[in-house]
Amino acid sequence: MGRSERRRVFDKLGVIGRGEDGHLHPTSAGLLMFGFEYEIVREYPHYFLDYQEQLDASMRWTDRIISSSGEWSGNVHDFYFRVYNRLSQTIKVPFKLEGGLRVDDTPVHKALREVLANCLINADYYGPRGLVIIRKPDAITVARTPAVSASTSRKRSTAAPPIPATRR
């Protein structure tokens, strides 16, 4: 694919657009999806994506992926696939054939993809808090990161109800 073809595809996808100066620039969606974390925080100062595995009660977390680590891009696209791949490895896949081919995609896989996509698409990246996904042995919780109130030092969270980790 040549440069002009890529430009046309990116324009149709809404990843780039012409600015007031007439030059092509990344759109907000393009920046969030394909930018680097250090670029994203210039536009979205409170941008923060956090995935935690809390599988041992004696530890704060047993594994973690954060957008600000500097070890990877830190964008929404890469976060989605890092977290989905981590979570999907824990889903049981029964043996099933369709048309002679094994089906590895279960309703739980589909629900997990939908939950991840919805929370990342509908997040308020201009808001004062980031997004945290917590995997515990029996549940997955998606929430905005807790904020500390200056007056009361109380933690608040707008957590959705936990999603069962596996269905039987």
User: pLDDT tens across 36-79, in order?
Assistant: 999 999 999 999 999 999 999 999 999 999 999 999 999 999 99
Assess whether 26 and 60 both reside in one domain: no
Alpha helices, DSSP H only, in 14-165?
28-34, 37-43, 76-88, 107-121
Helix (H) or strand (E) holding 6: helix 3-13
Is the residue at 40 inside a domain? no
Q: Are residues 83 and 23 in the same domain?
A: no
| Same domain, residue pair 61 and 142 | yes
pTM greater than 0.85: no
Same domain, 152 and 72: yes
pLDDT at 96: 86
Q: Are residues 118 and 156 in the same domain?
A: yes
Residues 121 and 65 in one domain: yes
* Inter-axis angle of helices 107-121 and 76-88, nearest 10: 150
Based on the structure, what is the number of domains in the chain? 2
Residue of 126, 162, 131, 125 lying closest to 144 (CA atoms) = 131
**Quick one: 21 and 63 in the same domain?**
no
The answer as to whether 39 is a domain residue is no
Does residue 61 belong to any structural domain of this protein?
yes
pLDDT at 21 over 80: yes
Q: Is residue 89 pLDDT above 60, yes or no?
A: yes
Q: Is the residue at 83 inside a domain?
A: yes
Pick left, alpha or beta for residue 153 (phi over 0 → left; psi -120 to 50 → alpha; otherwise beta): left
Range of the domain at 29: 1-34
The verdict on 21 and 99 lying in the same domain is no
Distance between CA atoms of residues 2 and 83, nearest Å: 32
Residue 127 lies in a domain: yes
Share of the chain above pLDDT 90, in %: 56
Residue whose C-alpha is closest to residue 40's, from 72, 3, 63, 86? 72
C-alpha 67/C-alpha 81 separation (Å) is 13
Reported as type and span, the H/E element at residue 63 is: strand 63-66
Percentage of the chain with pLDDT > 70? 86
φ/ψ (deg, to 5) at 63 = -160, 155
Q: Within a domain: residue 4?
A: yes
Q: Are 67 and 136 in the same domain?
A: yes
Is residue 61 located within the same domain as residue 25? no
Shared domain for 16 and 83, answered yes or no, is no
Decide if 156 is inside a domain.
yes
Average confidence (pLDDT) over 83-112 = 91
**Residues 11 and 52 reside in one and the same domain:** no
